[in-house]
Amino acid sequence: MKNQTKIGIGVVLLAGVGYYFYNKNKSKISNVTSSIIDEPKKSGFDREKASKEFAGFGIKKFNEQTFKFDNTPNKSAIITDAQTGVQTIVAPTKRQPITELILYKQMLATLNGIPDDSDAEFTYNQFRTIYEIGDSKYKPDLDTQIRLEKIQQKYPTALKQMDLGF
C-alpha cells in the first residue's frame, strides 16, 4: 500500500473515533438535568418609601394627640414603696414633641425588623389604618388579629420599635 492510502485510511479512522467520542460525550450531557439557581427575588416592598409616607401623614396625627395630652392638667403622682412605706411625689414629665424624623426612624426600624415583605407591608398597612382612623375606633377582624399575633410572635422586638410613649 502506498503511503497516501495509509494516511487517508488513518484520517478517516481518526475522524470516526472522534465522531464516536463526540456523540458519546454529548449524549451524557443531555441526560443530566441542571438546576438553575434563581437569584433572590427583589423586594417588592420599599421600606424607606413607606416610612417616609407614614412620617408624612402620621406627624399630624401624633401632634394632635400630643396637644390633647398637653391640654390636660398636670397632676403629680404619689408613689408609696410597699416595703418601707415611704411616699414619693413624682412630677409629670413633659413629653418631647415628636418630629417627622423620629417617626420616620422608628417606622423604618420596625419595618427593617420584619424581613418578610408581606408581613412588613401588612404591618405597615395596619399601623397606617390605626393612626388614620384613630386607635379607639379601629376594630380589626378576626383574620387580621390572628395575623398580627403571628407577626408579633415571629418578630417580637420589631413592633416594640413603634412605641412612642402614648
Domain total in the chain: 1
Residue 32 in any domain: the answer is no
Q: Name beta bridge partners: 89.
A: 78
Flag the least confident range among 68-77, 83-92, 128-137: 68-77
Share of the chain above pLDDT 90, in %: 0
Residue 17 in any domain: the answer is no
Bigger pLDDT: 33 vs 114: 114
Residue 34 in any domain: the answer is no
Residue 95 in any domain: the answer is yes
Residue 23 in any domain: the answer is no
User: Domain limits at 66?
Assistant: 47-162
**Would you give the end-to-end CA distance of the chain in angstroms?**
106
Report, as an integer, the average pLDDT of 3-31: 76
Maximal CA-CA distance, the chain: 124
Residue 4 in any domain: the answer is no
Give residue-wise pLDDT tens across range 50-71: 889 888 887 777 666 654 544 4
User: What is the residue-wise DSSP string for 119-164?
Assistant: HHHHHHHHHHHHHHH-TTT----HHHHHHHHHHHHHSTTTGGGG--
**Residue 163, pLDDT above cutoff 50:** yes
Beta strands in 18-145, from DSSP E residues, in sequence order: 77-80, 87-90
Report, as an integer, the average pLDDT of 108-136: 84
Residue 7 in any domain: the answer is no
For the entire predicted model, the pTM comes to: 0.53
Flag the least confident range among 26-35, 91-100, 127-136, 151-160: 26-35
Mean pLDDT score of the chain, rounded to an integer? Answer: 75
Determine phi and psi for 87, rounding to 5 degrees.
Answer: -100, 135
Determine phi and psi for 7, rounding to 5 degrees.
Answer: -65, -40
**Residue 146, pLDDT above cutoff 80:** yes
Residue 115 in any domain: the answer is yes
